């Protein structure tokens, strides 16, 4: 009965749930300050969610179960990911379940659910959002799986805690060419999966420039709260995944409560720094035209392919094991 | 690099927040708890009020710091910011927009035209003031109203 | 021991009885009786397959059935796997088919079609049991002929059916010719025509002959499996055939192509040099990507499903090729893992593809439409069919908790850990293979979101869809059986358990116990990976419940859901014509891949008679042709036509010329016999 492990999971999920809107608030605040504005404060997304939960739930005529169940499913997949991804500790009771391919596929499941909901409305914008979202998701898959491949070569497994623990033990892996290429590829993939600039603008009002928001134009009240919260969760989990894979220092590998608490603090710090860096970078970027996005994704795929080849030929662990 | 230097040199643009406005607070506003999503509806205005609303959300006045945010769909919105006298063609769309907003919802009439048709009273294309088409909860007079008046009205709704 | 022959004999008897019943019975009872008998064939055949998976083996020689050569049968775990899959699919589809034909005597319900259907089912079950070249070819041709008679069953309804049947006939017999030549060369060189003789004689053959045999049989089997470039029959025959037949073809017949490849490549020839398997991987990878791209462009629901079959078979053959590659490099354990993944994908694909085709058939029957651009709104009118299609689609998109994800996970694991095999070939080929699998699964997600979202959700786009009603009970029962199979495979893949290992061992590679109980694990020398689909489903369900409960508690003061008008931007009620169609959904993908797809656009402007500046009508046509067919087949067909034209000069009509041809032919033959031998 690994109590420390269970504690780690509870702390991790709690931190992700409580911190996801805070992360979005922090990112919005960073952007506001860079633009010279005062900003609404870090707690604003929580206020939004709280207010939305108390509003009137609406079911538009002509929508069905897909529309109704997509927001809870989106949040549920993100929460399962929050349990699986080793943000704080690699020695948890679920460490045997956290396969990286499964993690990537659960992300895709959330995207798919929302796309079906967009088509379920029967409006032109819903269909447009679904079509664009699925195109981008289809093109991001090769990059993500190649990055998974590149990361699993030195670790000998696609199991996330094994990869993270291996990276923590051998930091040289991350500064090798393979590691750097994999970071770059996965960073672009994370931008595409979480719907941030330059792939998609989360704050746009022009429907013809929307990808993710177009699918959610019909949601109101508690459903909208779940959709927004799900988006915050996804971003947090993805940034946490990046942080765990490429900056794993501080993650607890044993059964010590003190290490777990320290790891929690460090994880919060790492994700916050990553979020602020992303928000600052977004100030300088413009959204790419939709048909330039495949070029960006193809470029990141090439980086991931190079990472795999470099990992095999230069690392030597693949060939001579 | 040029942009970075510009950011550093410009610094903070937002003016310091004026004191909390006094005035009538619509009863639904108590449920918002400091977060208000706004949908702007142009029911036939000359766009003067739109420019002032855009000014209210720009870095100088920064209405977002009080919790108000512009959204793309009335389903996401709590407050409909209606400008202009309601033309005949926009009467039904305005009703539908407000009906699409979930409860609790508010309608704020911005500008003299929205309140009493202003300059365009009696025009052949004008159906009436906003209150003739949908119930209005808050009014912001002026032709056009200044951005800080619009911000003050929004602050009464958000309570911040 | 005696279960297998008893079950096979029962199946044969029921099949013949079914054929007789189809010929003789009146229309009122024909469908039901033939359906029951065919289901019996499926159950009996499936039972023998399950027994073989459980470890029984059986072989027998029946000299009387075929003159000269006699028939040989042998059932081991590998054939048992394919028999079990075919049996399950046949049983469920027979129930579905009984409901499908309950309407009338046309199409599948006609005497001829109902007589042939049990024979087709029987041939699907007997082909894996063949153990000599002549038996195999006989049963293969029986399967081809019976399916050929079934494909045009609805020829009165649509003229395109005849063209599809011709294409299918030509290509399947082309495959037969290649198989015939390949097997003949093999038997001649190995010194015997039973599989046992082929197995033992293969070691003595020269590499050139082995290579020739492999290429000929692999091309023939890959054509049957629907791999490019010989796939052209698949997107024609599967949409035009009655849906029950499409389901059988896509979920049981194409598997036999894979069976042949594994049997000949791994078991009989005993593995081979790397270029064999690279060829297989190239065909598989190309099919996977090309198939799913064409499926993404297809608006015809059944054509979409047919191309998806091509994609999945491509993934399977990719796995088989990888297994061969690892085997050749010496890593038998990894080869066993890759082969197990490929076979597991065959099983999962059969389950969800049969379900998808049956659901598509229900839609066709209820609405009269196959075109997704004219469907929609079926969720409200046919809720059960929509739910069943959604379950099949979940398997097809290869995402958890579907059953397609399970085999794809295993395949990815075998590829990723394949880098343990030394060599530059694997270092280059395996990352490309992983990229191909990833791209095809990403595109498959888009394809099935399109099929489900455009075809079933929102509102109907035409009257056919608006008039749809739920399918009759028998069809729902058949689909329900398949859905239960999909769900069982998704949650408890350990149902296959040791059977999968025995099948891999029957192909000559060590079993690695990848599936057990509610989970999968990979435990090889240097690698380990674990995945438990049951745990994922349980966690998702619990979390979903928690989220819903929390939201309900947080919004407890406003519980009642309001039904509001759809937000139409205020301008007026959105008509169903404003909703996205399948073509528009796929348009971004078409633009991204337009170099590969080469879409054709025609704009035809008809001006009015009074003035060329006033337009009376504009006709816009956008087509995505099958580019491989265009580039590869058209030149061949043109060449054949030209050769035929020029050969007409030989048939001048002069009797003297014909006599001369005969005389000189005979003289040449005699000279060759004297000199050559």
Q: State the pLDDT confidence band at C326, using cuts at 50, 70 and 90.
A: very high
Task: Choose the weakest-confidence range: A193-207, A226-240, C172-186.
Answer: A193-207
DSSP conformation letters of A34-61: HTT-----TTHHHHHHHHHHTS--EEET
A159 touches C: beta carbon within 8 Å:
yes
Please tell me which of the candidates C445, C457, C563 has its beta carbon nearest to residue A59: C563
Q: What would the two tokens of residue C433 be? A: 């293979």
> C: neighbours with 3+ CB pairs under 8 Å?
A, B
CB-CB: which of B93, B99, B103 is closest to C571? Answer: B93
C407 touches chain A (CB under 8 A): no
Chain B residue set in contact with C, beta carbons under 8 Å: 73-75, 92-94, 96-97, 99-100, 102-103
Please tell me the distance in Å from A72's CA to the nearest CA on chain C. Answer: 6
d(CA C84, CA C50): 6
DSSP B28: G
A130 inside 8 A of chain C by CB: yes
pLDDT in tens, C390-423: 999 999 999 988 999 989 999 999 888 888 788 8
Model confidence band, residue C557 (pLDDT cutoffs 50, 70, 90):
confident
Are C93 and C358 within 8 A, CB to CB?
A: yes
d(CA C266, CA C282) in angstroms, rounded, equals 18
pLDDT digits 0-9 by tens, C616-675: 999 998 888 888 888 888 899 999 999 999 988 888 888 998 999 999 999 999 999 998
Average pLDDT of the segment spanning A135-157: 89
pLDDT score of A69: 95
Question: Which residues touch C534 (CB under 8 Å, ≥6 apart)?
Answer: C491, C492, C518, C519
- pLDDT bucket at A321, cuts 50 / 70 / 90: very low
Mean pLDDT, to the nearest integer, of A234-259?
A: 90
The pLDDT assigned to C419 comes to 80
Q: Give the model's pLDDT for residue A317.
A: 46
- Which of A46, A76, A104 has the most C C-beta neighbours within 10 Å, making it the best mutation to test the interface with C? A76
Give the rounded percent of residues in chain C with a pLDDT score beyond 90: 64
C162 touches C152 (CB < 8 A) = yes
Facing residue for B75 by CB, picked from C558, C567, C571? C567
* Count helices and strands in chain C by DSSP H and E runs: 27, 8
Domain spans, chain C: 285-541, 577-623
pLDDT recorded at residue B154: 94
Name which of A42, A50, A152 is nearest A103 in CA terms.
A152
Q: How many residues does chain C have?
A: 677
Assign C516 a pLDDT band (cuts: 50, 70, 90).
low
Mean residue pLDDT across chain C: 90
Touching check for C571 and chain B: CB below 8 Å? yes
Say what angle helices A221-246 and A257-284 make with each other, to 10 degrees. 110
CA contacts within 13 A on the Cβ side of C95: 21
Tell me how many degrees the CA angle C149-C309-C414 measures, rounded to the nearest 5.
140
Residues of A near B (Cβ–Cβ under 8 Å) read 32-41, 44, 47-48, 50-51, 54-58, 204-205, 207, 210, 213, 217-221, 224, 283-284
Determine contact, residues B153/B108, Cβ cutoff 8 Å: yes
Nearest in space to A110 (alpha carbons), one of A85, A139, A73:
A73
Nearest chain A alpha carbon to B102 = A56
The answer to which of A292-306, C61-75, C229-243 has the lowest mean pLDDT is: C61-75
* Residue of B32, B96, B104 best to disrupt the C interface, most CBs of C under 10 A: B96
Give the minimum alpha-carbon distance from B86 to chain C in angstroms, rounded to a whole number. 14
Q: How far is B98 from chain C, CA to nearest CA, in Å?
A: 10
* pLDDT of amino acid C324: 94
Q: Tens digit of pLDDT for each residue in A47-83? A: 999 999 999 999 998 899 999 999 999 999 999 999 9
List chains adjacent to chain A, taking adjacency as at least 3 C-beta pairs closer than 8 Å.
Answer: B, C
Residue of chain B nearest C567, judged by CA positions:
B100
Q: What is the mean pLDDT of residues A248-257?
A: 84
Q: Which fold has domain B36-158?
A: Rossmann fold (3.40.50)
Within 8 A by CB and 6+ apart from C113, the residues are C22, C107, C149, C150, C153, C242
ipTM above 0.85 for this complex: yes
User: Tens digit of pLDDT for each residue in A21-34?
Assistant: 999 999 999 999 99
pLDDT given for residue C523 in this prediction: 62
How does DSSP classify residue A252? B
* Complete DSSP assignment for A59-108: EETT--HHHHHHHHHHHHHHHHHHHHS-SSBS-STTTTT-BHHHHHHHHH
The yes-or-no verdict on residue C137 having pLDDT over 70 is yes
- Tokens representing residue A159 in the block: 């199991």
pLDDT digits (tens, 9 = 90+) for A267-319: 999 999 999 999 999 999 999 999 999 999 999 999 999 998 888 777 654 44
Subunit contact C540:A80, Cβ cutoff 8 A: yes
| pLDDT at res. A320 | 40
Tokens of C431: 């990352």
Q: C356: helix, coil or strand?
A: helix
C404 neighbors C396 (Cβ within 8 angstroms): yes
Calculate what percentage of chain A has a pLDDT beyond 90. Answer: 65
Q: Is the confidence at residue C228, as pLDDT, over 90? A: no
Q: What residues have CB less than 8 Å from C50, skipping those under 6 apart?
A: C80, C84, C499
Euclidean distance between CA atoms B130 and C85, whole angstroms:
68
Residue C237, SS3 per DSSP:
helix
pLDDT 10s digits, C2-56: 789 999 999 999 999 999 999 998 888 888 999 999 999 999 999 999 999 988 8
- For B79-88, C182-191, C626-635, which range has the lowest pLDDT when averaged over its residues? C626-635
Does residue C120 register a pLDDT over 90? yes
Rounded Cα–Cα distance for residues C322 and A201 (Å): 41
Contacting A residues, span 224-243, partner chain C, CB-CB under 8 Å:
225-226
Per-residue confidence (pLDDT) for residue C526, from 0 to 100:
59
């Amino acid at each position: 009965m690994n109590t420390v492990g269970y504690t780690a999971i509870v702390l991790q999920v709690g931190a992700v749930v409580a911190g996801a809107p805070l992360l979005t608030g922090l990112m919005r605040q960073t952007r506001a300050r860079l633009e010279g504005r005062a900003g609404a404060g870090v707690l604003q997304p929580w206020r939004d969610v709280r207010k939305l939960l108390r509003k009137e739930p609406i079911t538009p005529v002509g929508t069905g179960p897909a529309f109704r169940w997509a927001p809870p499913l989106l949040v549920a997949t993100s929460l399962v990911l929050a349990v699986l991804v080793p943000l704080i500790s690699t020695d948890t009771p679920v460490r045997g379940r956290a396969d990286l391919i499964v993690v990537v596929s659960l992300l895709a499941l959330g995207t798919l659910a929302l796309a079906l909901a967009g088509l379920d409305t029967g409006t032109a914008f819903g269909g447009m959002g679904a079509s664009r979202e699925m195109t981008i998701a289809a093109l991001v898959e090769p990059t993500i799986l190649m990055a998974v491949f590149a990361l699993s070569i030195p670790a000998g497994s696609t199991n996330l805690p094994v990869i993270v623990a291996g990276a923590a033990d051998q930091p040289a892996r991350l500064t090798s060419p393979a590691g750097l290429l994999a970071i770059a590829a996965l960073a672009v993939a994370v931008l595409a999966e979480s719907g941030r600039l330059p792939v998609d603008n989360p704050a746009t009002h022009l429907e013809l420039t929307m990808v993710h928001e177009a699918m959610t134009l019909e949601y109101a009240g508690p459903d909208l709260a779940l959709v927004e919260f799900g988006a915050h969760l996804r971003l947090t989990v993805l940034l946490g995944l990046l942080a765990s894979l490429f900056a794993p220092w501080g993650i607890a590998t044993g059964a010590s409560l003190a290490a777990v608490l320290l790891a929690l603090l460090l994880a919060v710090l790492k994700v916050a720094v990553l979020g602020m860096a992303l928000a600052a970078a977004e100030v300088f970027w413009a959204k790419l035209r939709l048909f330039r996005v495949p070029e960006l994704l193809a470029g990141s795929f090439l980086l991931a392919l190079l990472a795999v080849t470099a990992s095999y030929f230069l690392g030597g662990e693949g060939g001579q094991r | 690099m040029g942009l970075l230097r510009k950011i550093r040199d410009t610094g903070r643009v937002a003016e310091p927040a004026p004191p909390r406005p006094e005035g009538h607070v619509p009863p639904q506003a108590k449920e918002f708890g400091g977060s208000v999503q706004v949908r702007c509806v142009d029911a036939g205005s000359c766009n003067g009020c739109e420019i002032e609303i855009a000014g209210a959300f720009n870095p100088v006045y920064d209405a977002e710091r009080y919790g108000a945010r512009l959204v793309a769909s009335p389903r996401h919105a709590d407050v409909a910011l209606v400008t202009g006298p309601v033309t005949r063609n926009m009467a039904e769309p305005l009703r539908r927009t407000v009906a699409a907003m979930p409860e609790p919802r508010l309608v704020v009439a911005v500008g003299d035209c929205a309140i009493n048709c202003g300059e365009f009273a009696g025009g052949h294309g004008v159906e009436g003031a906003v209150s003739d088409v949908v119930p209005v909860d808050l009014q912001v007079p002026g032709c056009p109203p200044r951005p800080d008046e619009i911000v003050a009205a929004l602050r009464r709704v958000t309570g911040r | 021991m005696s279960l297998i022959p008893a079950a096979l004999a029962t199946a044969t008897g029921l099949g013949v009885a079914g054929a007789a019943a189809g010929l003789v019975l009146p229309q009122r009872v024909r469908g039901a009786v033939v359906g029951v008998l065919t289901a019996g064939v499926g159950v009996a055949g499936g039972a023998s397959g399950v027994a073989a998976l459980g470890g029984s083996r059986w072989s027998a020689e029946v000299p009387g059935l075929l003159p000269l050569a006699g028939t040989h049968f042998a059932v081991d775990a590998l054939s048992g796997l394919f028999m079990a899959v075919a049996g399950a699919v046949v049983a469920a589809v027979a129930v579905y088919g009984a409901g499908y034909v309950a309407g009338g005597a046309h199409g599948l319900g006609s005497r001829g079609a109902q007589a042939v259907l049990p024979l087709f089912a029987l041939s699907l079950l007997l082909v894996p049991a063949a153990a000599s070249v002549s038996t195999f070819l006989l049963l293969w041709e029986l399967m081809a002929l019976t399916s050929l008679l079934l494909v045009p069953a609805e020829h009165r309804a649509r003229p395109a059916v005849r063209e599809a049947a011709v294409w299918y006939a030509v290509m399947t017999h082309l495959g037969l010719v290649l198989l015939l030549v390949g097997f003949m060369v093999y038997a001649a060189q190995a010194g015997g025509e039973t599989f046992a003789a082929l197995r033992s004689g293969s070691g003595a053959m020269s590499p050139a002959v082995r290579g020739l045999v492999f290429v000929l049989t692999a091309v023939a089997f890959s054509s049957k499996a629907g791999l490019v470039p010989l796939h052209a029959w698949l997107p024609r025959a599967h949409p035009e055939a009655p849906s029950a037949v499409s389901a059988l073809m896509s979920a049981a017949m194409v598997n036999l192509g894979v069976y042949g490849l594994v049997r000949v490549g791994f078991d009989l020839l005993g593995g081979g040099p790397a270029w064999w398997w690279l060829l297989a991987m190239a065909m598989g990878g190309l099919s996977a990507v090309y198939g799913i791209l064409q499926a993404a462009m297809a608006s015809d629901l059944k054509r979409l499903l047919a191309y998806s079959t091509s994609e999945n078979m491509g993934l399977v053959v990719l796995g088989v090729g990888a297994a061969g590659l690892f085997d050749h490099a010496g890593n038998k354990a990894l080869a066993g893992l890759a082969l197990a993944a490929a076979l597991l994908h065959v099983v999962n694909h059969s389950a969800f593809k049969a379900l998808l085709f049956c659901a598509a058939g229900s839609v066709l029957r209820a609405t009269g439409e196959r075109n997704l651009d004219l469907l929609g709104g079926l969720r409200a009118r046919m809720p059960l069919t929509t739910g069943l299609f959604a379950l099949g689609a979940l398997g097809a998109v290869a995402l958890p908790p579907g059953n397609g994800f399970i085999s794809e996970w295993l395949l990815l694991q075998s590829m990723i850990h394949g880098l343990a095999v030394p060599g530059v070939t694997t270092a280059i080929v395996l990352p490309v293979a992983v990229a191909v699998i990833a791209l095809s699964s990403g595109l498959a997600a888009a394809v099935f979101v399109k099929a489900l979202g455009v075809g079933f959700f929102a509102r109907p786009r035409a009257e056919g869809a608006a008039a749809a009603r739920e399918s009759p009970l028998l069809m729902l029962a058949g689909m329900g059986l398949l859905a239960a199979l999909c769900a069982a495979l998704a949650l408890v893949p350990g149902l296959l358990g040791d059977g999968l290992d025995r099948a891999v061992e029957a192909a000559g590679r060590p079993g690695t116990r990848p599936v057990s109980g509610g989970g999968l694990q990979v435990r090889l020398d240097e690698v380990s990976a674990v995945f438990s689909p049951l745990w994922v489903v349980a966690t998702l369900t619990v979390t979903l419940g928690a989220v819903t409960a929390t939201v309900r508690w947080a919004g407890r003061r406003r519980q009642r859901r309001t039904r509001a008008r759809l937000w139409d931007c205020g301008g007026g009620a959105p008509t169903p014509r404003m909703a996205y169609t399948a073509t528009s959904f796929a348009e971004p993908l078409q633009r991204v891949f337009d170099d590969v797809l080469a879409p054709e656009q025609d704009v035809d402007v008809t001006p009015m008679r009074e003035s060329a500046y006033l337009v009376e009508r504009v006709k816009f046509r956008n087509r995505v042709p099958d580019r491989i067919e265009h580039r590869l087949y058209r030149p061949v067909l043109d060449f054949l036509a030209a050769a035929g034209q020029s050969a007409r000069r030989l048939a001048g009509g002069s009797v003297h010329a014909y006599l001369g041809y005969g005389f000189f032919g005979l003289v040449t033959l005699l000279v060759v016999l004297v000199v050559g031998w």
